Amino acid sequence: MIQAVVYAIPAFVLFVVIEALSFHFAPDEEERGYDLRDSATSLTMGAGSQVVGFFWKFATILVYAAAFEYLAPWNLDIVGNPVIAGSAVAVTVTLFGLFVADDLAYYWFHRSHHRVRLLWASHVVHHSSRYYNFTTALRQSWTPMSGLPFWLPLALIGFPPWMIFLQQSISLIYQFFLHTERIGTLWRPVEFVMNTPSHHRVHHGSNEMYLDRNYGGILIVWDRLFRTFQPEDVRVVYGLTRDIDTHNPIKVAFHEYADIWRDVRAHRGLRTRLGYLFGPPGWTADHR
């Protein structure tokens, strides 16, 4: 299992320092910059997610390995398959296919975690900061986000687990650099195809027009294709529609689970209770 994200941590720290210094020496009144307590919470959440993620990914790799070994009709391992490994064209095509498949899987994984409340309870951690900087990228969940079924088809097609995890890591490293206010819009063709800081700022907005938009990982074409794209227009207000007003990592990690439990206990009827579990965030028995 290759975890390129772990090796990228020193680079993440370096860019956090660079970005923080840029706000110190070249402040911008329209940008929020950094807050020490907020950044400390984000870094704490990131460290905890690495511990939790290690054990979860160990279990996930076993499932992917079984699917690859016993169910996949093809072997798309660019190292283990001599037919592919012996052709530069075959390697290139295989890697491109993996890139596209991984990015599409991420889009639906990400979209589902915004539209199903039980999944949102994990992902909400990443959106809980009122600031938008490189430390925000590291504010991750302490509970396993259910990514296994979204990437399982890649193993069933024939991509070995090590390739799947490596591509996931590449995507996460790319997305780290989206979390900044210091970069405006890029060249128009880049903005059309790629996910950029401008597009991802929209995704982190609590403005009504920005809610549930721009789910893409590396590419933004899926949002354009599935009609979830929104360009950056009015100034983005970061955070949640109902902010939690805490820097306590325990509350940041588990507050939505507590709210779900409260709503389920407070209502009767299987359909209503399932609505509070699997309906979209904000779903209520009175406004379905």
**What would the pLDDT profile of 193-238 be if each residue is shown by its tens digit?**
999 999 999 999 999 999 999 999 999 999 999 999 999 999 999 9
Q: Within a 13 Å sphere around the CA of 16, how many CA atoms are in the beta-carbon half?
A: 19
Q: Give the whole-number percent of the chain exceeding pLDDT 70.
A: 98
Q: What is the pLDDT of residue 287?
A: 67
Q: What is the pLDDT of residue 153?
A: 98
| Total Cβ atoms within 10 A of residue 105 | 22
> At residue 1, does pLDDT exceed 60?
no
DSSP state of 72: -
> At residue 114, does pLDDT exceed 60?
yes
Nearest to residue 145, comparing CAs of 168, 170, 177? 168
Average pLDDT over residues 231-248: 96
Residue 124 three-state SS: helix
- To 5 degrees, how large is the angle CA 73–CA 76–CA 82? 110
In whole numbers, what is the pLDDT of the chain averaged over residues? 95
Average pLDDT over residues 248-252: 97
Average pLDDT over residues 28-57: 92
> At residue 288, does pLDDT exceed 70?
no
Q: What is the pLDDT of residue 55?
A: 83
Q: Give the whole-number percent of the chain exceeding pLDDT 90.
A: 89
- Distance set, CA 269 to CA 91, 128, 167, 263 (Å): 54, 31, 43, 12
pLDDT-derived band at 260 (thresholds 50, 70, 90) equals very high
* Bridge partner residues of 205 (DSSP): 238
Average pLDDT over residues 173-183: 98
Residues 98, 161 contacting (CB under 8 angstroms): no
